[in-house]
Amino acid sequence: MTGGETAAVWTRRALGYGLGLGAVAMLFFAAATVGRYPVSMIDVARILWEGMTGLPRDLGDSARAVVLDIRVPRLTAALLVGVALSAAGATYQSVFRNPLVAPDILGVTSGAGLGAVLAIFLSLPVAAIQAMAFVFGLGAVTLVYSVARAVRGAHDPILVLVLAGVVIGAVMGAGIAVLTYLADPYDQLPAITFWLMGSLAGVTFADLATAWPAVALGLVPLLFLRWRVNLMSLGDDEARALGVDTERLRLVLVVCATLATSAVVAIAGTIGWVGLIIPHMARFLVGPEFSRLLPATILLGAIYLLGVDTLARAATTVEIPLGVLNAFVGAPLFLWVLARARLSWR
């Protein structure tokens, strides 16, 4: 390990992050021009520039409204949701030592979904929807983990954890079904249904303003603790023998990942697959070492959801619900991941 080698590694890493960030920025910019109401690249650039600097406006109000009031919040939401779900997925996979877990598989998404639906059912404000999503999401993951621990004698802990997640997810799903059955069919039901499909269409700056601090609160500790997360993936005995207080670190990591997940579930509904697939793709690119994996996962998650959401809103004349398109894109990707699983985990 000479100094020159380390410097080369750093250069490569910086280049990778630079490319990733550049790709996110370009995609964001390109996506802002796409849609039912076409706005040229130059106009988007001017509108964004004016929006940021507060300079006098020369362009028509409708283009401004489309870009600043509709597209920018939606694109920002796509970034936020992609980042939060994929980072949470990577964290759960390391903490539970299980490449098959993700927010949706651990029941966090459906738990948070139940909390959010209950809040919509009770006509609570957005902040309360988020809080309920968090409490129920955390409850679901705790339940799943305790069930999996209770059957510790089982031969295959990975399978038990996944099955426990399926079971708890089904119970949460039943809870959601009861609430949709009881909901007011003219007022609450459309909101709940649309929200359940997962969509960024209705996201406003007000939603973003409450969601991003919760996402940041979840992700910043993960970024600080990123090297330690590796130790958790060795299992409790080895991690403790290396001086880690595993109970406390696991609690912190799970709470952080769940907070980020629930915050975005509360604004965008249940969006699956991202938390499962993106960490795998990132691991494929940079390896499993978490301090490299987390930034790569975050960048890829942002790119993925930005891309899929733009497709959802602009590929056909009628908007495809994001959750639906995401499943169509995500399921084949996951099969690809499964097919090469032996190579990437063993």
Partner 1 sequence: MALTIETRALATGYPGYPVGRDMNLTVRGGRVTALLGPNGCGKTTLFRTLLGLLKPQGGQVLIDGDDLAGLPRGEVAKRVAYVPQVVEGYFPFSVMDVVLMGRAPHLGMFAAPGAGDRRVAGEALAELRIADLAGRSFTAISGGQRQLVLIARALAQEAPVIFMDEPTASLDFANQFHVLDCISRLSHAGRTIVISSHHPDHALRFADDAVLMETGGLFAAGTTGEILSSETLSRVYGMEIVIAEVAAGRGSTTYRVCVPNPVGGAVAP
- Residue 332 found at the interface with partner 1 (CB under 8 A): no
What is the SS3 assignment for the chain?
Answer: CCHHHHHHHHHHHHHHHHHHHHHHHHHHHHHHHCCCCCCCHHHHHHHHHHHHHCCCCCCCHHHHHHHHHHHHHHHHHHHHHHHHHHHHHHHHHHHCCCCCCCCCCCCHHHHHHHHHHHHHHCCCCHHHHHHHHHHHHHHHHHHHHHHHHHCCCCCCHHHHHHHHHHHHHHHHHHHHHHHHHHCCCCCHHHHHHHHHHCCCCCCCHHHHHHHHHHHHHHHHHHHHCHHHHHHHCCCHHHHHHCCCCHHHHHHHHHHHHHHHHHHHHHHHCCCCCHHHHHHHHHHHHHCCCHHHHHHHHHHHHHHHHHHHHHHHHHCCCCCCCHHHHHHHHHHHHHHHHHHCHHHHHC
Kindly list the distances between the CA atom of residue 70 and the CA atoms of 29, 67, 242, in Å, as whole numbers in the listed order. 14, 6, 50
Which residue, 194 or 284, has its beta carbon nearer to partner 1? Answer: 284
Q: Looking at residues 242 to 261 of the shown chain, list those that interact with partner 1 (rule: CB under 8 A).
A: 242-245
Torsion over CA: 130, 131, 134, 140 (sign): negative
What one-letter code names the amino acid at 243? G
- Residue 287 found at the interface with partner 1 (CB under 8 A): yes
**Least distance (Å) between residue 166 CB and partner 1:** 21
Which residue, 58 or 237, has its beta carbon nearer to partner 1? Answer: 237
- Residue 310 found at the interface with partner 1 (CB under 8 A): no
**Least distance (Å) between residue 101 CB and partner 1:** 13
- Residue 6 found at the interface with partner 1 (CB under 8 A): yes
- Residue 283 found at the interface with partner 1 (CB under 8 A): yes
Kindly list the distances between the CA atom of residue 204 and the CA atoms of 151, 188, 319, in Å, as whole numbers in the listed order. 44, 19, 18
Which residue, 127 or 242, has its beta carbon nearer to partner 1? Answer: 242
Residue range at the interface with partner 1 (CB under 8 A); choices 16-24, 53-61, 75-83, 93-101: 93-101
Applying CB under 8 A, the site for partner 1 has a residue count of: 32
Read off the tokens for 21.
């960030």
- Residue 89 found at the interface with partner 1 (CB under 8 A): no
Choose which of 206, 241, 338, 341 interacts with partner 1 (CB under 8 A). Answer: 241
Choose which of 94, 188, 258, 261 interacts with partner 1 (CB under 8 A). Answer: 94
Which residue, 53 or 346, has its beta carbon nearer to partner 1? Answer: 346
Which residue, 98 or 110, has its beta carbon nearer to partner 1? Answer: 98
Which residue, 196 or 225, has its beta carbon nearer to partner 1? Answer: 225
Which residue, 64 or 240, has its beta carbon nearer to partner 1? Answer: 240
Which residue, 120 or 293, has its beta carbon nearer to partner 1? Answer: 293
Q: Looking at residues 95 to 114 of the shown chain, list those that interact with partner 1 (rule: CB under 8 A).
A: 97, 99
Q: Looking at residues 201 to 240 of the shown chain, list those that interact with partner 1 (rule: CB under 8 A).
A: 224-228, 230-231, 233-235, 237-238, 240
- Residue 186 found at the interface with partner 1 (CB under 8 A): no
- Residue 154 found at the interface with partner 1 (CB under 8 A): no
Binding site for partner 1 (CB under 8 A): 1, 3, 6, 94, 97, 99, 224-228, 230-231, 233-235, 237-238, 240-245, 283, 287-289, 291, 344-346
